Amino acid sequence: MALVGAAVRARAKCVEPIVCATAQHREMIDQVQELFGLVPDLDLNLMTPDQSLNGLSVRVITALACFIAANRALPLTIG
């Protein structure tokens, strides 16, 4: 998704892209962000030790719902 985020930001005229990092795998995402020069608009920092996929999914959906409600943003894609 890093390439998609960078491409959309570079060509955005009609939309305002918002890049969000869940930080599910903090070490990997930090390396990719540095490699592509991406700085997320929103870093949810949701990684917890021994997390389950269900627990992570609940935290992601809750955090995004709060962000969208506060910013009236409509996501086009989540990945």
- pLDDT, one tens digit per residue, over 45-74 is 888 888 898 998 999 999 989 888 888 755
Q: Residues 42, 21: contact at Cβ < 8 Å?
A: yes
pLDDT at 54: 92
pLDDT at 79 over 60: no
pLDDT at 17: 76
Q: Residues 24, 48: contact at Cβ < 8 Å?
A: no
The Cα 74–Cα 27 span in angstroms is: 28
Q: pLDDT per residue over 40-51, tens digit each?
A: 888 898 888 888
